[in-house]
Structure 1
Amino acid sequence: MGPATQQRHRTRAGRPAARRPRAAADDDGGVRCEACGSGRHADELLLCDGCDRGIHIFCLRPILPRVPAGDWFCPSCAAATTTTAHSVKSAAVVQTKMPKQFPLIQTKIVDFFKIQRRPAFAAPEPPEGRKRKRKAASALVVSKKKSRKLLPFTPSEDPVRRLTQMASLATALTATGAVFSNDLTYVPGMAPRSANQSALEAGGMQVLPREDAETLSLCKRMMEQGEWPPLLVVFDPVEGFTVEADRHIKDLTIITEYVGDVDYLRNREHDDGDSIMTLLSAAPPSKSLVICPDKRSNIARFINGINNHTPEGRKKQNLKCVRFAIDGECHCLLVANRDISKGERLYYDYNGDEHEYPTHHFV
């Protein structure tokens, strides 16, 4: 499956200039990495703005995909410097310790995600039942030979397990200083909702079929009622926060919509955020939009990218990131592109059909 036009899933901003050392740290006048001891790959060697020590972006845990544009603090300095918003953000990016777990208390979880209160968490209607009630309609074209429709996720039957899944996402959001949102948000001073017009997409944007749009709406309604997708956010010392399937997930299942604050690309070309996603690649480029999930986001922010420079990396990909027009507005979806086994980590290609974003240090 996939749109007919090419897509950019990350900003088109060039890689910022490498940080040069302010003082020599070895005999040949360069800075050596505190982790590996090498002074090679100087263009990927970060210099801490707090202690002047260097470390490669690929020696950090979790790895950084590129050199950040703004100030950067090593893990030690970031932990000690929490008085400014940027320091807090840096600390979240380079966090290596297990974060404090969100309490597994139903009332706190219900309030955190603004779940519509109802008796317990009743088991959802099986997808088969929904299927009989919905009208047959044209579906998303996934290949030249046949077409298939998108599927809603199937929640775990155990309500306690669903609470555990929600608590894992609440842990990650809290640790990164974000709040939960399951929709695109439009904040004063950024791009207004009126700027999100799929008709501006260069080359045109594929329209999500009506039945698939209804399936996406169904998924969101289910989540509002506490019927959660079977996903766990786990913390890995190498990859940072990452997402695992908590039960078998079928091919073409909607995993989530990529959400966050919508802004103009021109305002974010030098942003050092590691999760910015292209929403609209417009003609003219001044109207291009991106999704910024640092302050408001859902589980999409914690699904990791693959190393698309190697065949081994591409084999890990089990999600497809696609952009669609829904009622004239752009949306970005993550959809399973094959069956996913329980316990399998989720990965998608940040670049889509274009390989302009550096992913060669992704694990």
Structure 2
Amino acid sequence: MPASETEGDAACEPEAAANGAVRKRTAAPPPTMRARKYRSIAEIMREAKPAAAVIGEYYGDLRCEECRVPADADEDCGLFRIQRSSHGEEGEKCGSSQDGRKRRRRSLPLVRHKKRRRILPFVPSEDSKQRLEQMRSLATALTALHMEFSNDLTYMPGMAPQSANLANLEKGGMQVLCKEDKETIELCRTMYKRGECPPLKVVFDKLEGFTVEADGGIKDMTFITEYTGDVDFLKNREHDDGDSLMTLLLTTNLADSLVICPDKRGNIAQASSMASTTILWMVRRSKI
């Protein structure tokens, strides 16, 4: 190194120390970077060349992670956990039939059945005087019609016996009541025995005769009473001019068919010649 340069550096150091400042050497600033120019997709597509299709086997060595079964065409059942018919290979595959059943979703039915409506018991009037007036109107109507009150079917001598009323003789089969409807009918029978009757009143009309009017709130599908009376064979009533006969048992052989004849005994169902559409008349059929 030349002596003049050494002396010059030594002369500068005392001056920097005297001023209390330390001089540091810094790197030269980087050159200015030019903005990068991007190519448009149209330019790229013009210069692009179609690539040649490469055909090869890429999944030949694919194996199940658990049982290490290769994914060949003959071994697809192993990958999808399909149990084979042979008992020897069944234990070698991973998974079981129980796993498949757990993951299988249950299919819902496409057809929705309409919910069946249940029979409701009647609600007697709370006022005892009102109930007494209702029973008095029924007694007046039965007396005028020369009838006796009866809430059961009666089998009189010379008519059809009780043994002829068999449900298995019904043509097309007998309609069976569900458990809830049976309990409702039994509840109504019990209320009748306690002297509790549905809120109905029998009135006389000059044009229509005896009719039934609601004496309180009655909901739809409410059980009112059972159609009762004397039971006789249909063949014995072919020329009967009464309009209150009701079929009790309809058989294939008409000679065995039974009808209910409410000409001497009955209840509020026979006390009227015209009933309201809100009342559900139930036919009394034993053996149900």
- Mapping for residues 74-93 of structure 1, pairs under 5 Å: none
- Mapping for residues 314-325 of structure 1, pairs under 5 Å: 317-321=277-281, 323=283
1:185 matched residue in structure 2: 154
For residues 277 and 113 of structure 2, what CA distance do their matches in structure 1 show? 21
The letter for the 2-side match of 1:226 is G
Contact 2:221–2:280 (CA under 8 A) maintained in structure 1: no
Per-residue deviation at 1:292? 0.5
For residues 176 and 150 of structure 1, what CA distance do their matches in structure 2 show? 30
Q: Select which of 265, 268, 287 maps to 1:299.
A: 268
Per-residue deviation at 1:201? 1.1
Q: Select which of 212, 235, 240 maps to 2:181.
A: 212
2:212 matched residue in structure 1: 243
For residues 169 and 149 of structure 1, what CA distance do their matches in structure 2 show? 28
The letter for the 2-side match of 1:242 is T
1:203 matched residue in structure 2: 172
TM-score by length of 1: 0.46
Contact 2:226–2:284 (CA under 8 A) maintained in structure 1: no
The letter for the 2-side match of 1:277 is M
Contact 1:205–1:323 (CA under 8 A) maintained in structure 2: no
2:241 is paired with a residue whose SS is: coil
1:164 aligns with 2:124: no
Aligned residues: 177
TM-score by length of 2: 0.58
Contact 1:275–1:293 (CA under 8 A) maintained in structure 2: yes
Per-residue deviation at 1:251? 1.1
Contact 1:263–1:291 (CA under 8 A) maintained in structure 2: yes
Q: Which has the higher contact order (CA 8 A, sep 6+)?
A: 1
1:287 aligns with 2:247: no
1:327 matched residue in structure 2: 287
1:147 matched residue in structure 2: 116
Q: Which runs of 4+ in 1 moved over 4 A?
A: 320-326
Per-residue deviation at 1:302? 2.8
For residues 290 and 251 of structure 1, what CA distance do their matches in structure 2 show? 27
1:273 aligns with 2:206: no
Cα RMSD for the two superposed structures: 2.0
- Mapping for residues 1-363 of structure 1, pairs under 5 Å: 145-305=114-274, 317-321=277-281, 323=283, 326-328=286-288
Structure 2: tracts of 5 or more residues without a match: 1-111
The letter for the 2-side match of 1:289 is L
| Residue identity (%) | 60
User: Could you list the per-position Cα deviations for residues 148-184 of structure 1 after superposition, in whole angstroms to 9, with x for gaps in the alignment?
Assistant: 3211110000000000000000000000100100011
Relative to its length, the structure with more helix (as a share) is 2
Contact 1:205–1:324 (CA under 8 A) maintained in structure 2: no
1:167 is paired with a residue whose SS is: helix
Per-residue deviation at 1:144? 5.1
Structure 1 residues 294, 144: closer, same or farther in 2, change over 3 A? Answer: farther
User: Could you list the per-position Cα deviations for residues 90-126 of structure 1 after superposition, in whole angstroms to 9, with x for gaps in the alignment?
Assistant: xxxxxxxxxxxxxxxxxxxxxxxxxxxxxxxxxxxxx
Structure 1: tracts of 5 or more residues without a match: 1-142, 307-315, 329-363
For residues 207 and 145 of structure 1, what CA distance do their matches in structure 2 show? 18
The letter for the 1-side match of 2:162 is R
1:255 is paired with a residue whose SS is: strand
Per-residue deviation at 1:297? 0.2
For residues 222 and 319 of structure 1, what CA distance do their matches in structure 2 show? 18
Per-residue deviation at 1:289? 0.5
Structure 1 residues 283, 305: closer, same or farther in 2, change over 3 A? Answer: farther
The letter for the 1-side match of 2:259 is V
Per-residue deviation at 1:228? 1.4
For residues 257 and 273 of structure 2, what CA distance do their matches in structure 1 show? 24
Structure 1 residues 257, 322: closer, same or farther in 2, change over 3 A? Answer: closer
Contact 2:150–2:229 (CA under 8 A) maintained in structure 1: yes
For residues 284 and 178 of structure 2, what CA distance do their matches in structure 1 show? 9
For residues 144 and 290 of structure 1, what CA distance do their matches in structure 2 show? 34
The letter for the 2-side match of 1:208 is L
Per-residue deviation at 1:278? 0.9
1:272 is paired with a residue whose SS is: coil
The letter for the 2-side match of 1:318 is T
